[in-house]
Structure 1
């Protein structure tokens, strides 16, 4: 994006504004993220995926957990877990169910070996064969060896890998083994003992092979997983994932990453006293970046799906929130073993697509590309507001099931460990656990839930009909009500350039507001229109959409987004209001908008270009979106999303949410001087919780997909992270209008799905979401110790697949900048 444009009057600067109060979120924007958010952050990237040949998808063969990719004399090398068994996995093939056999794996990585492959271009691979086999029966590595990483030193190569002995049970401790060779082709010499073992054990409860414990041990008391090695400060840094005994039980503290240091590749490795050094992340992935270390933390923990940076390799901070990071990533980072302080970052690597959520089949290796190379900008890797395709929401890990209808219970009551902050020093990641998230992280958090989705009848998917942007769900007597955007036009939407009096620009253009009722929240009955577009010349004559509802003093109020005239780039969006004596109407519209955009700047010329301006206006000068109404602290609080004219004049200024308050539902509404109150979040989603307000800031911005809490309704702080939050959520908030000062939270609502595998759908449709965000109801299976997985189809959907043009760029880039792996003796 051009940066040599002239600086305009009123243009937001990089420096924090002075002379006016700022919300906590705006303070973070300037102090942490940068004014242009993800569009200029050196740490932000989207990830693009592509199939590879030679080691990709193959029936009956598992390939997963790739190592760091090496390049030696122009040839790329990778090692990985490989399993090929005649019988697919069987979780019951272990004591006490039965004596464990040697022909049936318990997990996808059971009965595995470590193989390797080579490539000339990083896309087309040739499988070379086995590198490390399982050890002798009865040894620490006799049952399976898997999840390797590789170290290259002057004259030697080392493979570090997870190892288990026989029998491979739930309670089997996992250790890290090692083999070495003088050539990447082997032969490999096996170490007779592990190079790293789990920490101090606790005490199992009974002998049934369950996860139940009587007493917890160290944070890594059960398993040390996913070794990942770097050379730094003259030492060998062996990062690993630690798993505690009883990690699915009542007082588990989840997983994290640790590091152990050694003077020699063979060890002895000494664990850092700051461990764990992260509080999140499933499989490990790290690489040198500048003077420090950059980590890609995947789908586990309160800081899931983030990029984190540690200038000292130990104290990691979140520097970007990302969407769909690679699983078990093995980056191509040729300076991983150079012990330099000028790490260059990465542009690609290998990862796997796992099948754990299916409990059958075979994982396989894919390639990922990204934009994490210092000083390099790759086109097409800064996507924002990225949507998952519809099949994600109904995949095994995200679909509502019968277990979700049950109350949460625990099988036992282990000895409760101390929740006090340790007196010894902790890593920055663990300090955030004690300060922000709580010692039980997602498991014990008021602000974490998986979201589960289900189809609904009556207002669900229907060809030719758009239903989207549901209001809050309210209950009147025994009946639930919801209002929503509805469009049914002869012509399909095709963007602003083709919009006309007869053709909508977008799926929500030329729309009206309809409503439906239900007795159970699953089966709905469409009742008809609540609000039609206004007469020609009115501020709402083109579209009325994205409604929300308020019930107050015996009357009902709808607040909604409006548009006048054929949709243009420069069209302004305002918020209208209508009221009725009953939820079924009839509705009377207010003659004028109840809330208008902020002060505008001055346009340049007559062309329909929202970025052609002479001066900037206020942060919400262009559009007011997504009204969301609560009664709070004795007033009507109207939250909304604001968009600025000139948003992408230089770089993307992003969006934020504001609030306006009034004593009467008809207004006047006065905008908060702290606006904007968030720096992220596409559609608004809020609810009262205890004395404050929770915001689910999804999809867009530097704090995308985070849970945020403001004890005053204004100053929101990040308190957790979620995956696949509902799009345009309309939650059922029983106390939305009670102003109790003791909000209880939410358990379900409606949202919409707008995208398919190949892009936006012709017609969005409504679905139901369920969650576990209520104080008085605890629901089963909305948290689990291991990460939620996405179906393989999402990685190759339009927004996540590497296009042919991007592949050509990747090949040209590799030819220009990829170099052989560098080795310096520590």
Structure 2
């Protein structure tokens, strides 16, 4: 805790760190106190944003792949790293294998095919010198004869060991991947290759036919096909070799995806014995672990139901989610100098190397970058606690995220394998696998009702237009043959420049000085803007400054718009309320209520006259400042108005965060009564909900300790995390055909509208609408909204405003390294 925060006086009504006992709490609020901490990401020792920067010497180079860096070592003040390197005459050719043709040696099948392991050194972690080859491929016919890649390194008092993935010739879809090993007495080599793998895949199942497809008749062990991404640590006097396991048939109908396991040995050379608790994670595309306190931290990337998380295991085996993060490093190689010293407590990390992959393009070369983070125990780095982080525009139209033709086709499977048992195993399983059986389902994302990729596409009529803001779409409804949507629209002569420069003619924000307009469409892609629906009120009215973030209710033959309002010049202490207007037709005319239909909760007292929302002398209720993002459903015989609440004094000490509440009424005109369980979520910047079976699904995007999770409440109130998504829509307005049906058997959603910002002008630009598609419906399942391997984002995102290491941060990183970086410590001699 910063001294300034620690010294602030305790205020009347200030939320405490202990769970309240004097009122009922929602399930999400219980988790806030039990798991995340009252100030959630703003004080969590496990939360960080990741910042990326280019490196010299081993960075981007045409025709050369460098990827999968090892743990970074420091020896006598010099940093060392080993990595996959490929430089071939031809780019990737996925058909360069039997049965298509005899495999040649001039074209790799994958970016890591025909690779070797090279190494580099650096004096500062930013500027590297490539030193040359460390480990080459084995002889013809050997287990490592085709490619060696994804290395990790171990340093002992006498030797250095490289563990790496290895494949023989020919490299086909069905080729088993094992873990090889080489050793040397110097980090510069020469390296002596082991004649046999030190770790092999598990017991195989049975392939279907001989066409080299991924189809199986019978599944084998969870790691029956490949042992990927070895990662070595020393713990408890033994050598712990973590790895990612991939099953045979991992793209087929009943695959259970990937996870990490661990194999333990008394000596670096093995034998390595796999843990009976494997797999020890249910997620994570590549392995990354390091000592932290008495246990280990793991960074789990873009795969599985707990993708994009940081996880902690005190025993190195039973991992729990400790933080949800955005854009974690791919194939991270951390600088963790205590990885092998086998002492506690582990110190954590501040930086490492990673790669930017080009799989989404299926061509080109991956390259190494640096990441910085805030995961060092007892250290707080400035600028690494970002929240409400938005992806730049380019992400939404990149190959792995944009809507494609396959997405419009029905999902089918080529084969019906033997369905494995779905029963919980009788023996011990890891905590991660307990969550699979208890929360996610045995097929994880592939079989989950609560996972989908989101695919985006540009729309006509209300899309990108210079100088015009369109954002915050309502739910889409269908009336007759036409789809309708309402949204925030602003077109002002002056651009928004924040509260300090706001005036009667200049907006504070993109949604200030806005009105609500509407549009119609026959197909959901091509829209026609129809004009204004609800305008700002007359001077002095409660809605005279802006009306925005609308949602729609169709009820008993009438239409009701609920929307956020603000009165007077936008200030930090301005309250936000919810207004309502109704009409007999979706085309209007609309009649507004002359008072808010829902107001903020009781506020405390202000301290002084300055316009400071955190300048308070007492706290009020959790939603005392702003009511955002109204969202209306008909549920259990009543009208449920969900909304996001913000508290006065949110940042008085640390960030208290946001949450969603609900207010319920029998009539669309109210009165709406807030639930005593509010807040119902501890995360989610904008509201996004829909009926599903007997309950309600919520997707809590971009903000809070459970950011980007999918949650389900069988009663609409007590939400539990049931899945995780990567690029959820911002301010989603889904098409929910049964939003008002109150059927008790909700069917889910397949598409809707959302908004994003322009790339080049960043936060100073106009938001605009686009379409998202998804597979969150019980009635429609389309192709390529799930795939076994992870979705990748374009390289531009890593160097965009919210993810790039700034010049000032780089200076801080260099100063910090001079203060705390130390040489890597070997295991004690007893090993």
Q: CA deviation at 1:756?
A: 2.0
Cα displacement string for residues 622-664 of structure 1 (whole angstroms, at most 9, x for unaligned residues) = 0000000000000000000000000000000000000000000
Measured against aligned partners, the alpha-carbon deviations of 1:409-434 in whole angstroms (never above 9, x if no partner) come to 00000000000000000000000000
Q: Residue 706 of structure 2 aligns with which residue? A: 703
Question: Per-residue deviation at 1:759?
Answer: 2.7
Could you tell me how far apart the structure 2 residues matched to 1:103 and 1:532 are? Answer: 65
**Per-residue deviation at 1:762?**
1.5
| Mapped contact 2:496–2:764 kept (Cα < 8 A) | no
Q: Which residue number corresponds to residue 753 of structure 2?
A: 750
User: Is 2:433 the counterpart of 1:469?
Assistant: no
Say which of 683, 688, 694 aligns to 1:691. Answer: 694
Counterparts of 1:102 and 1:6 in 2: how far apart (Å)? 70
Which residue number in structure 1 is paired with residue 256 of structure 2?
Answer: 253
1:723 to 715, 719, 726: 726
**Distance in 2, Cα, partners of 1:755 & 1:239:** 42
The aligned residue for residue 398 of structure 2 is 395
Matches within 5 A, 1:15-414: 15-414=18-417
> Given that residues 627 and 640 in structure 1 are in contact (C-alpha distance below 8 angstroms), is that contact kept between their aligned partners in structure 2?
yes
Which aligned pairs between 1:612-623 and structure 2 lie closer than 5 A? 612-623=615-626
Query: Which whole-Å CA distance do the structure 1 matches of 2:476 and 2:207 have between them?
Result: 46
* Matches of 1:778 and 1:533, distance apart in 2: 42
Instruction: Report the alpha carbon displacement of residue 755 of structure 1 after superposing the two structures with TM.
Output: 5.0
The alpha carbon displacement at 1:757 in A equals 5.3
SS at structure 2 position matched to 1:807: helix
SS in 1 for 2:70: coil
Q: How far apart are 1:758 and its partner, in Å?
A: 5.9
User: Could you tell me which of 545, 549, 558 is aligned with 2:548?
Assistant: 545
Equivalences for 1:544-623 in 2 at 5 Å?
544-623=547-626
Per-residue displacement from partner, 1:109-162 (whole Å, max 9, x unpaired)? Answer: 000000000000000000000000000011000000000000000110000000
Rounded to whole Å, the distance in 2 between the matches of 1:316 and 1:464 is: 49
Is 2:495–2:764's contact at 8 Å kept on the other side of the alignment? no
- Report deviation, 1:761: 4.5
Report if the CA contact (8 A) 2:117-2:133 is conserved.
yes
Local SS of the residue matching 2:803:
coil
The residue correspondences of 1:443-592 to structure 2 (distance < 5 A) are: 443-592=446-595
CA–CA distance in structure 2, aligned partners of residues 575 and 592 of structure 1? 9
SS of match in other structure, 1:86: coil
SS of residue matched to 2:766 = strand
| 1:785 partnered with 2:788 | yes
Q: Is 1:658 aligned to 2:658, yes or no?
A: no
Structure 2 counterpart of 1:641, from 639, 644, 649:
644
User: What is the TM-score of this pair, normalised by structure 2?
Assistant: 0.99
> Which among 679, 682, 686 is matched to residue 676 of structure 1?
679
Deviation at 1:754, TM superposition (A): 2.1
Please name the residue that 1:625 is paired with.
Answer: 628
| Shift of residue 341, structure 1, vs aligned partner | 1.8
> SS state of the match for residue 361, structure 2?
coil
For the residues of structure 2 that align with 1:329 and 1:622, how far apart are their CA atoms?
41
Counterpart Cα distance in 1 of 2:184 and 2:471? 59
**C-alpha distance in structure 2 between counterparts of 1:309 and 1:107, whole Å:** 32
TM-score (norm 1): 1.00
Q: State the SS of the aligned residue for 1:631.
A: strand
Contact 1:757 / 1:797 at 8 angstroms: preserved in 2? no
Give the corresponding residue for 2:9: 6
> CA–CA distance in 2 between the matches of 1:612 and 1:88?
60
* Cα distance between partner residues in 1 of 2:530 and 2:119: 62
Q: Is the CA contact 2:497–2:764 (under 8 Å) kept in the aligned structure 1? A: no
Cα deviation, 1:302-341, whole Å, max 9, x if unaligned, reads: 0000000000000000000000000000000000001112
Aligned partners of 1:647 and 1:39: how far apart in 2? 11
Distance (whole Å) between structure 2 residues aligned to residue 759 and residue 564 of structure 1 = 27
> Are the counterparts in 2 of residues 757 and 794 from structure 1 also a CA contact under 8 Å?
no
1:388–1:755: 8 Å Cα contact kept in structure 2? no
Separation of aligned partners in 1, 2:549 and 2:254: 42
Q: Secondary structure, in 3 states, of the residue corresponding to 2:617?
A: strand
What is the CA–CA distance in structure 1 between the aligned matches of 2:285 and 2:615, rounded to whole Å? 45
Q: How many aligned positions are there?
A: 826
The structure 1 segments of at least 4 consecutive aligned residues displaced by more than 4 Å after TM superposition are: none
2: CA distance, partners of 1:822 / 1:619: 48
Distance (whole Å) between structure 1 residues aligned to residue 626 and residue 69 of structure 2: 46
Aligned counterparts of 2:674 and 2:202: Cα–Cα separation in 1: 54
Say if 1:87 and 1:105, in contact at 8 Å, map to a contact too. yes
Which whole-Å CA distance do the structure 2 matches of 1:724 and 1:569 have between them?
A: 30
CA-CA distance at 1:19 after TM superposition: 1.2
